[in-house]
Amino acid sequence: MTTAVLPRTESPRSVPVSRLLGAELRWVLRRPRTLVLLGVFALVPVLISIGVTVAGDGPGHGLIGAVAGNGLMLPVVAITVSLALLLPLAVAMVAADAIAGEAAQGTLRGLLLAPVGRLRLVAMKAFGVLVVATLAVLALAVVGVVAGMVVVGRPEGHLVTLSGTTLGVGDALGRVALVVAWTIGQLAAVGAVALAISAFTEHPSVVVASVLGGLIVCGVLSAIPALEWLQPYLLITGWSASADVLRDPMPLADLVTSTLRALCYLAVGAGLTVFRMLRHDA
């Protein structure tokens, strides 16, 4: 009597994390909405460069006006302008689709029942949000550098800072890289909060409305002098610090403080998301 030997199958729990993250990445990047968002961010520095060039060669007022004839300033300006609304909107939309969108479509139940582990599931969803945030910021930075040097042009010193000094290309690109890393950190905090909201609702629009509404409320509160004591606790406080990289010497206080604040929001958002997902009914 012979015993049939069944083929050995790979346990879902033994699936490498890299394969799970790759699957999430393919799912996120194949959505038309994500591709449209990335296209919009690539278009932002192009539009700013064209607008500055058409307006005239002389320096204008404000941060955007300082881009005239100073192309390497464009990526920092494009990121700073987009951080006010566009970047948080993109992160909120991706986070809304990550959990609330799955719940609305009825696919979240299957993910919760799959023997992959709920902590791994949260990590996968957070990874997808972080990748989109990173790609959006990189699109602004890379296209901004190219458009700044090709359309706007650059002075002999390569980059004229807001303090009136000049920096070489290497130093200028290093400061752009610093802004990129800092901005991704701020968006990670927004994404963590958005994921936490997404875990508590089945309506993606609620996530987007909550995040954008919260940012607007924070902006209003930060503009009231009587509430100065509240400003250190608001996530958007210090978001203008990205322009500090355009000063020489570069002040680091606001960049460091806003980074620590973002880490606090990130920890709270991640904790709430894990808490909810571990107790979510399948």
Q: At what angle do helices 32-55 and 118-147 cross, to 10 degrees?
A: 20
pLDDT tens for the chain, 282 residues long, are 444 443 444 444 556 777 777 877 888 888 888 999 999 999 999 999 888 888 765 555 567 777 877 888 899 999 999 999 999 999 999 999 888 888 887 776 666 666 567 788 888 889 999 999 999 999 999 999 999 888 887 666 578 888 888 888 889 899 999 999 999 999 999 999 999 999 998 899 999 999 999 999 999 999 899 989 999 999 999 898 998 999 888 999 999 999 999 999 999 999 999 998 888 765
Instruction: Compute the 3-state secondary structure of the chain and give helix, strand, coil in percent, each to the nearest 5.
Output: 75, 0, 25
* 224 φ, ψ (degrees, to nearest 5): -95, 115
Q: Tokens representing 72?
A: 């390497």
If phi over 0 gives left and psi between -120 and 50 gives alpha, with beta otherwise, what is residue 274? alpha
**Residue 167 parent element (H or E):** strand 166-167
The first and second tokens of residue 131, run together, are 């990748």
Both structure tokens of 217 = 């409320």
Q: For residues 253 and 132, give the distance between their C-alpha atoms in angstroms, rounded to a whole number.
A: 28
- Helices 74-83, 169-199: axis angle to 10 degrees equals 20
Amino acid at 11: S
DSSP string, 134-156: HHHHHHHHHHHHHHIIIII---T
Contact 201, 275 (CB under 8 A): no
Beta-carbon count within 10 A of 174 CB = 12
Q: What does the pLDDT read at residue 239?
A: 92
Q: What is the model's pLDDT at position 281?
A: 65
Which pTM does this prediction carry?
Answer: 0.89
Distance CA(125)–CA(144), nearest Å, equals: 29
Contact 194, 268 (CB under 8 A): no
